[in-house]
Every structure is written in C-alpha cells, then in structure tokens.
Structure 1
Amino acid sequence: MTVAGRALPEGRYGKPPARRSRRATTLMIAAGLAVGGVVAYLAYQNLGTAPIEAERTSFSNLPGNQMQLVFDVTRETPDRAAVCIVRTRSLDGGEGGRKEVYIAPGPDRVRVTTVIVSSTEPVTADIFGCSYQVPEYLSTTQPPTG
C-alpha cells in the first residue's frame, strides 16, 4: 500500500485488500439490476394504477342504524364481474358495518346504491376496496344448489 508514493509498513496496516476481477464486478452489477427490475415490477403490479376505481357519490342515514351509500365504479375490464367492500364508520372512527357488493359485468362505469346495516349509529360510509376476485357465493351466474 502506498500513500503519495511512499510504501506503508505492512505490519502496521495489514495487507492491501485484494481487488475484485472485472468479471465479478460486472456480475454483481447485473445481479443488482435484475433484483431492482423485479422489485420495480412487483411494486408496479401492487401499487400501480388500480384496475377498478370506486368513488363515493353520496351517503345518507336511514332509520335503524342503517346507511345508504351511492358510489360509482369504473373498471378497466367491464366484461368481468367485480366485488366492492363498503363499510360504515361510527363517531369514534370504528367500523360499524361492512358489506360486499356484487358488480355485474356491464358498462365500464356503473353507479351503485346499497344499504349497509351498522352495529352502531353510523356517521359516514366509504368504499374499502374493489376487486375482480368475486367469491362464488356472490356470483349470480352460478346455478342454485340443492
């Protein structure tokens, strides 16, 4: 090891670190880029544009701890059925009621009206989320069993 042209004593500073070969450096950079690409792809899939968007239009209290919610659903794939989970909130912010709403295949933008029953007096309602993964028990296309 040298500093400004002078050789440093080996016993004091140890042996100089071994240099990595260009091939090892190139492989490490390629592996880092590959891992970064996979992380970016997964982030885009999970955090990118939602294939289904829901927007609350209005809500109103009904007698008996019920709330009517009106919302618009916009889908990228309107020929597929969807499900939206809606809920009510109480004054303290806690969830009072929850409901799954089936959205049948149809136009790409649909207005939906539903009533949510709450265990406490509701003060607001919102859309928790929407998905194309419709549970079988919600699908109206399934023939009745029994």
Structure 2
Amino acid sequence: MSTASTRLPEGRYGRSPAERGDRPLKIVGAVLGALLVALIGYFAYHYVGENEISGQVITFQAGDDAVRVHLEVRKDAGARGYCTLRSQAANGDEVGRADFRFDQHATRIDKVLTLRTTSRGTTAELLGCHAG
C-alpha cells in the first residue's frame, strides 16, 4: 500500500501567499522598531546627558519660621547651577521656596541650607537642579 502525498512539491509553484504578505510587514516592523530605539536613545541622552547637576535631600529639620536642609549636590567640575527647594505645611500649602546656587569647582558638595518659611514647614522637597 502506498500513500499519496497531499503537499505540493517545494519551490515548484513559488512562495505561498502567506510568505509573500509577510515580507513587507517585516520590513515595516523593522523600520518602526529602529525608529523607536532611536527615539528612546535621544530622550535618554537629553534626560541623563544634559543634566550636569543633581541633588538629594539627606535630612531636614523643621522649625517655626525656617527649615534646615542637608543637601548633597553632585555635578561636573566646571558646572554652575542651582537647586530649587520647597517646604509645605501639614495641610499641603507651600510655605517656602528658594533657589540655592552652586558655583564651586568641586564635584560633590554637602551643604546645610536654611529655607525661610512663612509658617511651620513639615517637609523639605528638592524640586530639581539645573545648570546655568
């Protein structure tokens, strides 16, 4: 007994319709994937690469008319800039905000700063550091 094959001989009649339709989709997918990777790289460079100054609040001590903030700043040796701090009251109202400049040549700066407030502040928040 012999069994008959139901498959067509390979390569005899060209590619199947599914194979012909996949190629343009693969090309479009590869191009879109490459563009997405390039876009992510662009934003990552501008987010990480351009910010020459970064800071971190280590501790803070609240008072009735000021908040003492221990701030650690890391920056490039020649970079100049400022960091913005704010304090909020227990109800969430902003009671103090100030910019503090960092023009020293050092790459790591630890400073205890005094942020004046209009009433008792319960937080010390670093809003960001900017070169310039």
Identify whether the pair has TM-score above 0.5, normalized to the shorter chain.
Answer: yes
Secondary structure class of the residue paired with 2:91: coil
Matched positions, count: 115
Secondary structure class of the residue paired with 1:44: helix
Q: After the TM superposition, which parts of structure 1 deviate over 6 Å for at least 4 consecutive aligned residues?
A: none
Describe how 1:1-146 pairs up with structure 2 within 5 A.
20=21, 22=23, 24-45=24-45, 48=48, 51-63=52-64, 65-75=65-75, 77-132=76-131, 134=132
* CA distance in 2 between partners of 1:53 and 1:21 (Å): 48
Name the % identity.
17
Q: Give the C-alpha shift of residue 51 in structure 1.
A: 4.3
Q: Give the C-alpha shift of residue 130 in structure 1.
A: 0.7
Alpha-carbon RMSD across the aligned residues, in angstroms, is: 2.8
More deviation, 111-120/95-104: 111-120
Counterpart for residue 143 of structure 1: none
Q: Give the C-alpha shift of residue 124 in structure 1.
A: 2.0
- Structure 2's unaligned 5+ residue stretches are 1-5, 7-16
More deviation, 26-35/101-110: 26-35
Contact 1:82/1:105 (CA < 8 Å) preserved in 2? no
Contact 2:89/2:119 (CA < 8 Å) preserved in 1? yes
What TM-score does the superposition give when structure 2 sets the normalisation length? 0.69
More deviation, 82-91/51-60: 51-60
- Structure 1's unaligned 5+ residue stretches are 6-15, 135-146
* CA distance in 1 between partners of 2:40 and 2:31 (Å): 14
